[in-house]
Amino acid sequence: MADDEILHRALIDAAGDVNRLTRNWFDGQRYANAGPAADLEPRVSTIATRSGDTPLVTALDTLSAALTPPASVIETLPNLALWFDTWRPDTITRLGAAVTAMANLVPGGPGLVAAAAGGPDYAASGPDGTPGVFWPEAPNDLGLVLASDVSLAELFLVARFADGTVPVWPNYTVLFASHGDGAESTVVGESGTSRLAAGDAARLISKVSVNGGAFGASLLPLPVSVLRLSASTESLPQITFGGLGVRVAGSNAGRSWQGGWFELAGFSAPLSAADAATVEAALIEKWGVT
């Protein structure tokens, strides 16, 4: 193959990498060593070496430097305990499409594994045009769980219920739950309504903020949205998180989440109002929430 053809194909490949990277901006920033960016720099060097073209070498060096990203806003905040992001396929282990494990982006932090009935499916480009983890839009027992509970003061989730238009819960659908059956933090939709279930203040978390709005009980319909749950709104010292989209203790009985989940960030201590707003705004921008 002629050198000019090799160069041409390499440039096309690099352009494809850049195109994919433009979909992975986080509030104007990108993740360090995420996806194609980690592989592009050596490829740029190879192209530059082959070309011997000084203007091209300069342009490609500039491109390589531009792809060295700063830290994301989430990891700059204190007391980050859990961080899972479906934009990071390198953190996801699968069997076919089904997720079997997902690594915590917090160094040394606990990871998620598939529930007893299995994990939901990962898709690089789901119905919303973004990567995500997707549960069936029907009763199921799938989920992702930690080995043990993690205590949180603040929890942010990016999620969609069913196709985003369903107005009432089909059952007591689980958003997340803990391992502790006696001091359990559980978020479930109240069957036949649009709100979160309440009634047991020591166990049920019944207030949620959607896309930076006021805390309240109503959640449906839920297109792709940024949810914030806080121990400060509940009769709980902290939120105990043990599993996503599935009841961890006791029988799940087909009440797992339905629809998509995209990102989770949990903090072990309260955030200031300004920091919480920063997280919400960044997630809204990143996931194209409208």
pLDDT tens digits, 243-272: 999 999 878 999 999 999 999 999 999 999
- Containing 16, the helix (H) or strand (E) segment is helix 3-21
Same domain, 125 and 40: no
Give me 126's structure tokens: 């789901």
Same domain, 152 and 264: yes
Residue 158: name the closest of 27, 36, 264 by CA: 264
Whether the CA torsion 104, 84, 154, 205 is positive or negative: it is negative
Give me 290's structure tokens: 């409208």
DSSP string across 109-130: PPPEEEBTTBPPEEESS-TTSS
Same domain, 187 and 220: yes
Q: What single DSSP character describes residue 53? A: -
At 41 the pLDDT is 44
Give me 259's structure tokens: 């629809």
Total length of the chain: 290
Share of the chain above pLDDT 70, in %: 73
Cβ neighbourhood burial of 90 (10 Å; 0-12, 13-18, 19+): exposed
Domain boundaries, position 240: 74-286
Residue that terminates a domain, selected from 18, 36, 66 = 66
Q: List the beta strands (DSSP E) in the chain.
A: 80-85, 92-95, 98-102, 112-114, 121-123, 132-135, 144-152, 154-161, 174-177, 187-188, 209-210, 225-230, 239-244, 259-267
Same domain, 152 and 83: yes
pLDDT tens digits, 120-148: 999 999 998 999 999 999 999 999 999 99
pLDDT at 230 over 60: yes
pLDDT tens digits, 174-221: 999 999 765 567 899 999 999 999 877 667 899 999 999 999 999 999
Over its C-alpha atoms, the chain yields an Rg (Å, rounded) of 21
C-alpha span between 83 and 11 (Å, rounded) = 34
Same domain, 211 and 94: yes
Same domain, 120 and 47: no
Residue 140 phi, psi dihedral angles, 5° rounding? -160, 175
At 11 the pLDDT is 52
Same domain, 103 and 155: yes
